[in-house]
Amino acid sequence: MDFLTNLSEGWQFFIQIVVVLICLFYGAKKGGIALGLLGGIGILMLVFVFHIQPGKPAIDVMLTILAVVVASATLQASGGLDVMLQIAERILRKNPKFLTILAPFVTCFLTMLCGTGHVVYTIMPIIYDIAIKNGIRPERPMAAASISSQMGIIASPVSVAVVSLTALLLNTSHKLAGFDGYINLLQITIPSTFAGVLCVGIFSWFRGKDLDKDEVFQEKLKDLEFKKYVYGESKTLLGVKLAKSNWIAMWIFIAAIFSVAIIGIFDDLKPNWGQKMVYQAHIDNTVEWTLSGGNKATVDLKKLTSNIKDHSNEIIAVPQKDKLGNPSYNYISMVSIIQMFMLLAGALIIIFAKTDVKKISSNEIFKSGMVALVAVFGISWMADTMFAVHTPMMKALFGDIVKEYPWTYALMLLLISKFVNSQAAAISAFVPLSLGIGVEPSVIIAFAAACYGYYILPTYPSDLATIQFDRSGTTRIGKFVINHSFILPGLIGVITSCVAGYFIAMMAGYL
């Protein structure tokens, strides 16, 4: 295999990107946990065939996924999720005329609370029942609700995508001035997501023919069996008396999310370990060498030609200050805070909500979360290994293009999201590369919504499930596959969110 390592960097990069894409495409085709496992083949080939030093998997991100998923799965096992769904149903049934506008916001908000779009499965039969019983074309609210449930991921305080993006932006060497992470990101993504969801609802209100004017649907209704199937029995949680423990579980979970948000806003509530210090060594009284990061130091070989101990006259500690001149402290990271409070939420739900612990690891949220964990593990490790070694070349080739045309970053992220069928996996794979080639963190924040692109083809579980829940057949996959019920709401929602995010980031002073 020596002939591969003797090739030019350009050819090595081309062959390696083919290997990576094959792993991504085949893993996405197989679905589920295969996407992360195929990353293992990619990383093995890169290391043993091309002799590339292995990179680092996103450990902080993976641990946060674990904590969030366990807390959300515990909420579902305790029955707390049923309380949220019951409240959502009351809102929808009370305002059936505005179903097409309200349903997307309801599913988006449920995703924001739970951190996963898979909660849409439970509310979708209710949306269908309200639509069909009120003469509303089910495609309108159902397709919009499915799309909006996934759009809510990048606006969720406990989603894998938000945690991943926050960790990557905070750990980059080129930090954005005034950006402290978690809360600052949500200040951009929440309003931009709501803007996108609103446009999805408005568009959906007018799409397709009304049921009483749809010739194809009216013809099918002449079949009494079909009519009975379409209008079948109602699906409802109304009238179901939920146990007090279910309500306790819901309030514990919401309190944990609220606590994380409050701590993120007020630095005084965060534990800290003293003021940040920068250690400076004066060498021969001529060259100043700055050591940052507390007691750790990194030697700049371009400035030093020998051991610092042989030439240091003195080392002094300089207290650091922020832009306003206030002391800058070593605060605990928001990633750690999220992990702590999610574990705390799960523990309190088990203690106070009479939760059957055996149900936690067997429900849908836990299973889908573990799939996401493995996907991020395999993909982030493979991507970091490959792109780290080629970052200088890619920066020279694409850095200027992305800087001049920032929308190209959003387009690439959108396509990668479709390949991997995961917002968190797309962020873990593409954001580190983008930061490495010089994409400004402000652009990454502004176009955060572009991490949702797997509506382009109707292969995602929530979209396929929505088609099955719509017994009227109005939510469908078209003759050419690409012309399905979700493509236009998805494009409208994501594009609107990206445009809104760009202007909000500009108003926030990031751009």
CA distances from 210 to 131, 216, 217, 280 (A): 11, 11, 10, 72
Among the ranges given (2-6, 120-124, 264-268, 496-500), the one the predictor scored with the smallest mean pLDDT:
2-6
Same domain, yes or no, for 186 and 112? yes
Per DSSP, the three-state class of 250 is helix
Burial of 61-81, coded b for 16+ CB within 10 Å and e otherwise, reads bbbbbbbbbbbbbbbbbbbbb
Residue 171 shares a structural domain with residue 293: no
Q: At residue 324, does pLDDT exceed 60?
A: no
Helices (H), ranges, 236-278 = 244-265
CB 253 within 8 A of CB 76: no
Residue burial 172-204, b: 16+ Cβ < 10 Å; e: rest: beeebeebbbbbbbbebbbebbbbbbbbbbebb
DSSP state of 326: P
* pLDDT reading at 201 higher than 90: yes
SS3 of residue 35 by DSSP:
helix
- Name the residue among 342, 184, 183 with its Cα closest to residue 256: 342
Check: CB of residue 383 under 8 Å from CB of residue 389: no
Which whole number is the average pLDDT over 240-244?
Answer: 88
Cβ neighbours, 10 Å, residue 54? 14
- Does residue 326 sit in the same domain as residue 336? no
For residue 306, what are the domain limits? 272-330
- Cα distances from 65 to residues 215, 391, 431, 439, in angstroms, run 48, 27, 18, 26
Q: State the pLDDT at residue 403.
A: 74
Last residue in a domain, options 330, 348, 374: 330
Token couple for 280: 């400076």
Q: Write out the H or E segment, with its range, that includes residue 52.
A: none
Question: How many residues does the structure list for the chain?
Answer: 511
Tell me which residue has tokens 């210090």: 277
Tell me, yes or no, whether 338 and 391 share the same domain.
yes
Query: Does position 137 have pLDDT exceeding 90, yes or no?
Result: yes
Confidence of residue 297 (pLDDT cuts 50, 70, 90): very low
The structural domain count of the chain equals 2
Q: Which of 128, 147, 149, 144 is nearest to 204 (CA)?
A: 144
pLDDT in tens, 83-107: 888 888 888 888 888 999 999 999 9
- pLDDT grade for 397, boundaries at 50, 70 and 90: low
pLDDT in tens, 59-79: 776 787 788 788 888 988 998
Q: What is the pLDDT of residue 29?
A: 67
CB 115, CB 215: distance < 8 Å: no
Tokens of 338: 């999220």
Higher pLDDT, 354 or 319: 354
CA 198: distance to chain centroid? 20
pLDDT in tens, 402-412: 777 888 899 98
Predicted confidence at residue 433, as pLDDT, reads 81
Nearest to 494 by CA among 106, 103, 28, 108: 108
Residue 394, pLDDT > 70, answer no
Q: What per-residue confidence (pLDDT) applies to 301?
A: 41
Instruction: Provide the pLDDT for residue 288.
Output: 46
User: Which of 36-45, 132-141, 255-264, 429-438 tops mean pLDDT?
Assistant: 132-141
Rounded Cα distance between 105 and 187, Å, is 18
Q: Of 93-97, 411-415, 424-428, which range is least confident?
A: 424-428
Residue 283 pairs with which residues in a beta bridge?
287, 312
Nearest-angstrom CA–CA distance, 78 and 88: 18
Same domain? For 206 and 130 the reply is: yes
Residue pointed to by tokens 């590369």? 433
Rounded to whole angstroms, the Cα distance separating 158 from 67 reads: 9
Shared-domain flag, residues 418 and 309: no
What average pLDDT does the chain have? 81
- 303 and 313 inside one domain: yes
> 330, 345, 378 — which closes off a domain?
330
Asked if residue 441 has pLDDT above 70, the reply is yes
Quote the CA–CA distance of 500 and 234 in Å, as a whole number. 38
pLDDT for residue 228: 87
Of residues 414, 435, 381, the one with CA closest to residue 169: 435
- Predicted confidence at residue 175, as pLDDT, reads 76
Helix (H, G, I), strand (E, B) or coil at 379: helix
- Name the strands in the sheet holding 312-319, side by side, starting at the edge strand that comes first in the sequence: 287-291, 277-283, 312-319
Calculate ∠ Cα 106-194-139, nearest 5°. Answer: 50
Band of pLDDT at residue 281, cut at 50, 70 and 90: low
Residue 159 has pLDDT above 90, yes or no: no
In a shared domain, residues 226 and 289: no
Q: How far is the C-alpha of 259 from the C-alpha of 158, rounded, in Å?
A: 12
Beta strands 277-283 and 312-319 are antiparallel
Task: Please indicate whether residue 315 or residue 311 has the higher confidence score (pLDDT).
Answer: 315
pLDDT > 90: percent of the chain: 24
Other CB atoms within 10 A of residue 397 CB? 13
pLDDT, residue 306, reads 44
Q: pLDDT grade, residue 308 (50/70/90)?
A: very low
Q: Across residues 412-436, what is the average pLDDT? A: 82
Residue 276 predicted with pLDDT over 80: no
The two tokens of residue 231 are: 């209008």
Residue 187 confidence class, pLDDT cut points 50, 70, 90 = very high
Residue at which a domain ends, from 330, 353, 372:
330
Residue 323 has pLDDT above 60, yes or no: no
> Where is mean pLDDT largest: 355-369, 392-406, 436-450?
436-450
Mean pLDDT, residues 454-480 taken together:
81
Inform me whether the pLDDT recorded for 430 exceeds 90.
no
222 plus 349 within the same structural domain = yes
Could you please report the per-residue DSSP string of 81-115? HHHHHHHHHHHHHH-GGGHHHHHHHHHHHHHHHHS
Q: Residue 126 pLDDT > 80, yes or no? A: yes
pLDDT at 305 over 70: no
The verdict on 285 and 155 lying in the same domain is no
Q: At what angle do helices 120-133 and 99-114 cross, to 10 degrees?
A: 170
Are 359 and 483 part of one and the same domain? yes
Tokens for 351, please give them: 């203690």
Same domain, 118 and 139: yes
pTM of the model: 0.70
More confident residue, 430 or 302: 430
Q: Which neighbouring-strand residues pair with 323? A: none
